[in-house]
């Protein structure tokens, strides 16, 4: 199978942005020039734990296209920007926090856990409509999940 203008620029040394497949995440072109993930946990006396995770990544390319008619051969999507990464989605930043406390009750350990995901409640666009000819062009099709607080209990014996 040869190169595809959907994922490759067909230019020697050009950016490569493979399209996600099978994940159900939508129309995403995976290509970030930088990303990082840092996490840590501190155990306080008396069974208290505080942890956090910070994730950052450059926004993936937004690949606007138009459908070009090829006669009896159907249509082909054609990139309408000079390069694959001319337009990018916003950079993605995410902070998650955890607080936990362990209790020893008789011969049983109880651990209460509170997790807070997407602390800043960022509404970062992950997928947008890419066809400028569509009435919903540039409309957000998927965004980062909202802030979520989860409570959990683990029991050990």
Predicted confidence at residue 127, as pLDDT, reads 85
Answering whether pTM is above 0.85, one says no
| Tens of pLDDT, residues 73-103 | 888 888 888 888 888 999 999 999 999 999 9
pLDDT band at 13 (very low <50, low <70, confident <90, very high): confident
CA separation, residue 58 to residues 22, 53, 93 (Å): 23, 17, 9
φ/ψ of 13, rounded to 5, equals 85, 5
């Amino acid at each position: 199978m040869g190169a595809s203008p959907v994922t490759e620029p067909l230019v020697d040394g050009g950016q490569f942005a493979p399209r996600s497949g099978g994940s159900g995440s939508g129309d995403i072109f995976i290509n970030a020039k930088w990303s990082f993930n840092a996490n840590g946990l501190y155990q306080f006396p008396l069974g208290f734990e505080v942890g956090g995770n910070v994730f950052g990544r450059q926004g993936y390319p937004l690949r606007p296209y138009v459908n070009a008619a090829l006669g009896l051969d159907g249509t082909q999507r054609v990139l309408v920007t000079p390069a694959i990464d001319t337009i990018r989605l916003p950079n993605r930043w995410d902070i998650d926090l955890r607080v936990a406390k362990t209790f020893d009750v008789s011969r049983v350990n109880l651990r209460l856990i509170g997790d807070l995901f997407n602390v800043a409640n960022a509404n970062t666009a992950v997928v947008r409509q890419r066809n400028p000819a569509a009435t919903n062009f540039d409309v957000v099709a998927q965004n980062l999940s909202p802030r979520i607080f989860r409570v959990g209990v683990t029991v050990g014996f």
